[in-house]
């Protein structure tokens, strides 16, 4: 666990054989939100740290970008500890989660949607993350300027607790066919992203990005 930027706690697993890092993040605002549930094993492992950071405050939200084990696998573990937990997800993930036995509250969102609650001011952007390139989501918390980017700005390597410096324009311009294969979809995504003004990219994998 590391407070990688103000009120944002990073939980990480580094996998040396493939030189790959998986992150989850707790934004300790009021209310609190966890970006990515992690796998069942990861969710179980971070529970003590969540309790330590949050104290008596509940974990109100978990944001699930897309239906993949490192994004959604641990949501059942988290709900066991926080029974009033609400999942914010893409519409496809919202349809899939009940099929995995999840019976809690789900707030489906699509690109252009927003959610405001206390200190949280969230806005969502579609991106082709799901199987068959159906839309997942990235999420910007506008008050802090923190963008949770899921797989979109993936970098290989041991990114535990590490950041790199860049500009938003450079990061968006670097989205290539490996991230979004369809050229028209990629251009549309880049156009949407350039309307945002994040200060920090909390990546799902690799090195977080401080934006200047």
Structure confidence at residue 132 (pLDDT) = 60
pLDDT, tens only, 186-210: 999 999 999 999 999 999 999 999 9
Could you tell me if 80 and 127 are in contact, meaning their C-beta atoms sit under 8 angstroms apart?
A: no
Q: How confident is the model at residue 99 (pLDDT cuts 50, 70, 90)?
A: confident
Structure confidence at residue 27 (pLDDT) = 98
Structure confidence at residue 190 (pLDDT) = 97
Q: Which residues contact 18 (CB under 8 A, 6 or more apart)?
A: none
Structure confidence at residue 124 (pLDDT) = 98
Mean pLDDT of 88-96: 93
pLDDT, tens only, 101-136: 889 999 999 999 999 999 999 999 998 876 666 789
Structure confidence at residue 49 (pLDDT) = 97
pLDDT, tens only, 153-187: 999 999 999 999 999 999 999 999 888 888 999 99
Structure confidence at residue 73 (pLDDT) = 93
Structure confidence at residue 179 (pLDDT) = 86
Report the CATH architecture of 2-211: 4-Layer Sandwich (3.60)
Q: Where are the domains of the chain?
A: 2-211
- Write 54-58 long-range contacts (CB < 8 A, 24+): 54/26, 54/28, 57/30, 57/31, 57/32, 58/31, 58/32, 58/82, 58/84, 58/85
Which stretches of 3-157 are DSSP H helices? Answer: 40-54, 69-72, 75-81, 91-96
Structure confidence at residue 102 (pLDDT) = 87
Instruction: Please state whether beta strands 208-211 and 2-5 pair in parallel, antiparallel, or not at all (unpaired).
Output: unpaired
Q: Which residues contact 70 (CB under 8 A, 6 or more apart)?
A: 22, 36, 38, 39, 42, 204
Question: pTM of this prediction?
Answer: 0.95
CA–CA dist 34, 59 (Å, integer): 8
pLDDT, tens only, 31-74: 999 999 999 999 999 999 999 999 999 999 999 999 989 999 99
**CA dihedral in degrees (130, 136, 138, 139; nearest 10)?**
-140
Instruction: Please state whether beta strands 120-128 and 135-141 pair in parallel, antiparallel, or not at all (unpaired).
Output: antiparallel
* Residue 100 pLDDT > 90: no
Say which residue, 100 or 148, is predicted with more confidence: 148
Structure confidence at residue 130 (pLDDT) = 64
């Amino acid at each position: 666990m590391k407070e990688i930027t103000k009120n944002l706690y990073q939980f990480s697993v580094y996998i040396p054989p493939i030189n790959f890092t998986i992150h989850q993040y707790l934004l300790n605002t009021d209310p609190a939100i966890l970006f990515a549930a992690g796998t069942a094993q990861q969710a179980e492992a971070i529970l003590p740290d969540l309790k330590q950071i949050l104290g008596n405050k509940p974990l109100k939200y978990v944001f699930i970008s897309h239906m993949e084990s490192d994004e959604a696998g641990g949501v059942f573990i988290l709900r066991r500890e926080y029974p009033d937990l609400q999942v914010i997800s893409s519409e496809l993930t919202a349809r899939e989660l009940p099929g995995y036995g999840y019976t809690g509250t789900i707030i489906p969102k699509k690109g252009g949607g927003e959610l405001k609650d206390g200190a949280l001011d969230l806005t969502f952007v579609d991106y082709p993350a799901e199987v068959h390139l159906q839309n997942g989501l990235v999420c910007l918390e506008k008050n802090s300027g923190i963008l949770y980017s899921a797989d979109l700005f993936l970098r290989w390597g041991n990114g535990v607790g590490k950041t790199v410096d860049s500009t938003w324009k450079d990061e968006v311009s670097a989205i290539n066919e490996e991230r979004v294969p369809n050229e028209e979809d990629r251009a549309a995504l880049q156009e949407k992203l350039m309307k945002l003004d994040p200060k920090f990219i909390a990546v799902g994998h690799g090195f977080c990005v401080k934006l200047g």
